[in-house]
Structure 1
Amino acid sequence: MRARRRRLILLALLPLLLTAGCVTPGLGGPAATTASASASRNPVPARVPRPWRPGDPQLGAQVLWYTYRGESDSSVRTQALRLVNYMVGKHMNAISMTFPFTTAGPTASQVGASSQTPSARHLGMLMDVAAAAGLRITLRPLLDERDLTARDPLAWRGSLAPADRAAWFRSYETFLAPYLALAARHHARTFVIGAELTSLESDPRWRSVIAAARRSFSGEISYDANWDDYVSRHIPVPVDHLGVDAYFPLSGLGDDASVADLTAGWQRWLDRKSTGRLPRIVLTEVGIPAESGAYRHPAAWKGGGRLDPTVQKRWFEAACKVARDRDMAGLYWWNLDFHADLAAGAPTGSHTSFLGRPAEAVISSCFRTWPR
């Protein structure tokens, strides 16, 4: 009888307990609501089935991020989640985040962030989502060439001639400092100390820049050389690993060239440097416009040819085969725009994107079947 009375009393009190919110999180009370809100603020990405480990190839894409005025924490978190989920779905295990910095002109002695350089806070958000997914993270500053070409149409980041080189390197070291600290805080494995700065590569001041970098970042320091620079000479920048922005021109091949033809062309270029395995080299940029005539000038992103997605597809197939045959340390496709609508495919009129085109399927197949 006493047990029956207790049950009746509890049944009578249950509505009051529910109204007061004194229910367990599993029943959907305030604690569950709080947890749900927290999850929406910090969404969990898909997880890489096999996260990168030392000795594994780096299989990823360069995420190019030019920020815009008014970009919010919420929009960055949402797009970071979409982007990372896309990369995991394409069997990637690595992400390289390329962000711009600027200088006033080819002879300027100062560099710095521009209005389109993402904030350290927002870069950190993307890095945290990537880390939660198990992606290997590289942080990569890249000099924006628009202020150079505005003063000299032939100028590019590889032809800088600072009026005061010592001042340029001091400025560059100052600019890099907060991003190196960011890399250390947010699980980056690699920091790219420079990319395609051909005219400055022989300067001994790199030793000071790299020594300062090592004081705040304990991971790998790398440098990305332009394709022609890589095959023609020793790159004297004293880093742990070298990357190659690989745009080897194959002037003798037309749009109907086979994958075998393209592969042989890539191999001939690489043989100018060395033959056989290249286990310490990463192809840090592999890309080509999806247009006619691109094999002759794969780095010409405004070539003006007609749209031809097959050109891009075969180039990607050849690059994958070469990197695997040479046992390279990794490959990063160029590029994924941070703000891209990943579900919509290539933007209207764009020949440079691989989204929604046959080359996109090559990326997935290449990485899914890469020996590890």
Structure 2
Amino acid sequence: MKKFKLLIVILTLSIQSCSTQTNKINGVSFVASNEVVNESHTNPVVSVNANYAAVMPFGFVKNLDAPELVFNTTRQWFGETKAGAKQYIQELKKKGIKIMLKPQIWVWRGEFTGFIDMQNEADWKTFEDSYSKFILEYAQLAQDLKVDIFCIGTELEKFIDNRPAYWFTLIKNIKVSYKGKLTYAANWDEFKRTPFWDKLDFIGVDAYFPVSHSKTPTVQECLEAWKAHKQVVNSISEKHDKPILFTEYGYRSVDYSGKEPWKSDRSMNQINMEAQTNTTQALFETFWKEDWFAGGFIWKWFHNHENVGGENNSRFTPQNKPVEALVRKQYRLK
């Protein structure tokens, strides 16, 4: 009888461990488009075995020190608006796909949001009021639609460094209306200093860590490079007792894809599918088996699946490329 009870305990622990390691957020970053989506657009998300999608409406600022954030305008694409986000969420949920709502800022000419920095106190106050209105409106939408995760911001390092008290207040205000899980999408070189992880449910990281200087990275060299990064990521998880969520991850199908993975420079156009596949495989092997790792959202997934990606595409999307099969295989393990 004692041996039987011991066997039951061992089997239970084994099942729990397996469940912890494989029950991941297997997500796609579902790009906002200029049209309504339907089943033909959501079926490919199901086909790649994703169980989550990040829906990403946008607000816009004219430059890095412009205090007015504009959103929900008639000049935006449908998917970038509140109405569009709602329609996308509803269509994806029909397919059983869970949602992370991830409102983002776009700076004119694509300047990096981490450099947003007001010139005086009055402008900071204006910008804070504008950002609060933006985020709280989407937090209410997240609550109304029973969205699983709400992301309170993406790559806003200087905003957080300069105005930390604002962010703690914002999180309190979000929690008044939204009762689901919260995260913030910190850049790969920012997350170590983000001050409010203890107030959120996931430590969100946009995981564009450099992992190779080779033209065509091998899986093995990427695995070696990940060791140092992984140690830091794990230490932050342990420090705050929170799981890590890759709010964005992915690589371009281009030469030197692992050198500076955050770059979207269009002059980088030497197509290299093997580079994209190897870097992605190394990331999966490094993180997806870890209990403290919640999962991630691959960057990025377009609604018109049949017409994007492919053998002549050097961009991030995995669609219609060899790496799509790798993602499908990995995401099957859930």
TM-score, normalising length from structure 2?
0.82
Answer yes or no: is 1:105 the counterpart of 2:63. Answer: yes
One of 211, 214, 231 as aligned partner of 1:271? 231
Matches for 1:1-372 after TM superposition, within 5 Å:
56-67=23-34, 71=35, 76=36, 79-113=37-71, 115-116=75-76, 118-147=80-109, 149=111, 156-163=112-119, 164-202=123-161, 203-230=164-191, 232-236=192-196, 238-251=199-212, 253-274=213-234, 280-302=243-265, 303-327=267-291, 328-338=293-303, 340=304, 342-346=305-309, 350-352=313-315, 353-369=317-333, 372=334
Counterparts of 2:124 and 2:311 in 1: how far apart (Å)? 42
Contact 1:288–1:301 under 8 Å retained in 2: no
Gaps of 5+ in 2: 1-18
Q: Per-residue displacement from partner, 1:210-261 (whole Å, max 9, x unpaired)?
A: 222122211112101000112x43443632222110111135x313332121
Structure of larger gyration radius: 1
Counterparts of 1:336 and 1:318 in 2: how far apart (Å)? 20
Counterparts of 1:309 and 1:228 in 2: how far apart (Å)? 26
Counterparts of 2:233 and 2:249 in 1: how far apart (Å)? 18
Bigger RCO (CA 8 Å, 6+ sep) = 2
Counterparts of 1:180 and 1:108 in 2: how far apart (Å)? 23
Which structure shows the higher helix fraction?
A: 2
The SS at the match of 2:205 is strand
Note the aligned Cα RMSD (angstroms): 2.5
Counterparts of 2:210 and 2:181 in 1: how far apart (Å)? 30
Contact 2:217–2:256 under 8 Å retained in 1: no
Contact 1:103–1:110 under 8 Å retained in 2: yes
Deviates more, 1:260-269 or 1:241-250: 260-269
Contact 1:242–1:280 under 8 Å retained in 2: yes
Contact 2:69–2:131 under 8 Å retained in 1: yes
Counterparts of 2:310 and 2:217 in 1: how far apart (Å)? 26
Deviation at 1:334, TM superposition (A): 0.2
Q: What's the counterpart of residue 16 of structure 1?
A: none
Gaps of 5+ in 1: 1-51, 150-155
Deviates more, 1:214-223 or 1:110-119: 110-119
Using the aligned pairs only, state the percent identity.
20
Counterparts of 1:96 and 1:248 in 2: how far apart (Å)? 21
Deviation at 1:357, TM superposition (A): 0.6
Q: Which amino acid aligns with 2:55?
A: M
Count of aligned pairs: 299
- Pair 1:126–1:177, CA change in 2 (3 A): same
The SS at the match of 2:165 is coil
- Pair 1:92–1:158, CA change in 2 (3 A): same
Deviation at 1:108, TM superposition (A): 1.6
The SS at the match of 2:264 is coil
Counterparts of 1:332 and 1:320 in 2: how far apart (Å)? 12
Counterparts of 2:230 and 2:55 in 1: how far apart (Å)? 26
Q: Which amino acid aligns with 1:337?
A: F
Contact 2:218–2:275 under 8 Å retained in 1: no
Q: Per-residue displacement from partner, 1:243-282 (whole Å, max 9, x unpaired)?
A: 110111135x313332121122122212234459877011
Counterparts of 1:204 and 1:281 in 2: how far apart (Å)? 23
Counterparts of 1:169 and 1:343 in 2: how far apart (Å)? 41
Counterparts of 2:261 and 2:108 in 1: how far apart (Å)? 20
- Pair 1:317–1:306, CA change in 2 (3 A): same
Q: Per-residue displacement from partner, 1:156-177 (whole Å, max 9, x unpaired)?
A: 1001112322221111111223
Contact 2:29–2:301 under 8 Å retained in 1: yes
TM-score, normalising length from structure 1?
0.74
The SS at the match of 1:107 is coil
